[in-house]
Amino acid sequence: MRFWTWLKVLVIGILLSATGIYVILTSDLFQKKYIYPFLYQEAVYTYALERDIDPFLVAGVIRAESKFISEARSPKGALGLMQIMPETGRWIAEQTNHKDFMTADLTDPDINIRFGTWYLASLKKEFAGNEVLILAAYNGGRGNVKQWMQRYGWTKEFDDIQQIPFQETRDYVEKVLHNKKRYKELYGRNL
């Protein structure tokens, strides 16, 4: 009899512990602190809104690209929060009249977010605001997206992420759009 009583207590304890852990892990407070932090909010809101970009999309890109680590460096050499390649950074600096650009500037959160939102805005204009195409171009290159549009007959209304030929780009677009949704759910009340 003691064994069954002890087993019931153990099972109930495990269930209560699991429930408690689930509640903590799914709480907004835990999610904001550990899963979806939103550092550099002021810069994100300032530059995103200035360029008519959804700040939650920018936060989603940053989370996917660098997890908000300003010194992040990809194996291919992309730098900073929004993982901008040095050549792209130089081009953006020229386009925006940013004087005395140095590659190391891309690890400065303010400059990186300013450049990254400018680049997203240029993609938004080019792809008529279609977030799937914008994100595919941000990850896979605007030239590739233009080729896919021509080759597969995609229009500016394209939304079938599963048709994107590069697995990495498909996964990236899905991840960023999921991140955007979570940031909007967690921080949308702040706007």
Domain ranges (residues) in the chain: 29-190
pLDDT at position 95 is 97
Question: Does 94 participate in catalysis according to the annotation?
Answer: no
Domain 29-190 belongs to what topology? Lysozyme (1.10.530)
pLDDT at position 2 is 84
pLDDT at position 159 is 96
pLDDT at position 3 is 78
Residues 6+ apart with CB under 8 A from 90: 101, 103
pLDDT at position 24 is 61
What is the rounded distance in angstroms from the CA atom of residue 148 to the CA atom of residue 121? 21
Question: Which one is catalytic: 65, 131, 157, 168?
Answer: 65
Buried b (16+ CB within 10 A) or exposed e, 127-141: beebbbbbbbbbbbe
pLDDT at position 1 is 63
The pLDDT averaged over each successive group of 10 residues in the chain (191 residues) is 77 71 70 92 98 98 98 97 98 97 98 98 98 98 97 96 98 98 89 52
pLDDT at position 76 is 94
